[in-house]
Amino acid sequence: MKLPGEGTLRKIATFVATVGVGVATYITIADSGGGAPACLAGGGGCETVASSTYSHVFGVNIAVFGIVGYVLLFTASLLRGDLARMGGFAVALSGFGYSVYLTYLEVFKIEAICQWCVASATLMTILFCLNALRMVGYVGKPA
């Protein structure tokens, strides 16, 4: 199987990271207003998840950490070279792992699903795959 060109991977990653910044920012803004993100599909999953003890770390909404991660991934997608490739992979791996953990909490501890959190986890999974392909296929090659 032939890998997509690195430029293609970078363009897709730039787009996905931008959407991720938007999702995480929306969650953060909703929380800062004292509420929860609106569940577009109905139900109260978003409110249940947002009001859980797991939604903040050291008093900071975890979506703020998501914004930071997505901005780092956005930046890595704009840069060329091995440092950007490996840095993007490391951030994406961390974000993916944390998303898996948060999904576990939603399903087994909180017992509610937030569609915005699922969207963010999906975006982070896509970014992990893109950055893994970029690293495996292009590390050590000229930028």
- How many CB atoms are closer than 10 A to CB 130? 25
Domains contained in the chain, number: 1
pLDDT of residue 34: 77
Q: Kindly report the pTM of this predicted structure.
A: 0.93
Distance in angstroms (rounded) separating the CA atoms of residues 20 and 22: 5
Residue 1 lies in a domain: no
Is residue 84 domain-resident?
yes
Can you give the pLDDT at residue 33? Answer: 82
pLDDT > 70: what percent of the chain? 100
Within a domain: 67: yes
Domain membership flag for residue 47:
yes
Within a domain: 59: yes
Residue 143 lies in a domain: no
**Domain of 114?**
6-138
| pLDDT band of 140, cuts 50, 70, 90 | confident
Find the CATH number of the domain harbouring 100.
1.20.1440.130
20 in any annotated domain: yes
In a domain, 130, yes or no: yes
Q: What is the pLDDT of residues 71-95, one digit of tens each?
A: 999 999 999 999 999 999 999 999 9
Mean pLDDT of the chain: 94
Residue 143's pLDDT is what? 75
| All residues at 6 or more sequence positions from 130 whose CB lies less than 8 Å from its CB, including other chains | 9, 12, 13, 16, 92
Q: 34-78: per-residue pLDDT in tens? A: 778 888 877 788 899 999 999 999 999 999 999 999 999 999 999
78: left (phi over 0), alpha (psi -120 to 50) or beta: alpha
Query: What integer pLDDT is reported at residue 43 of this predicted model?
Result: 78
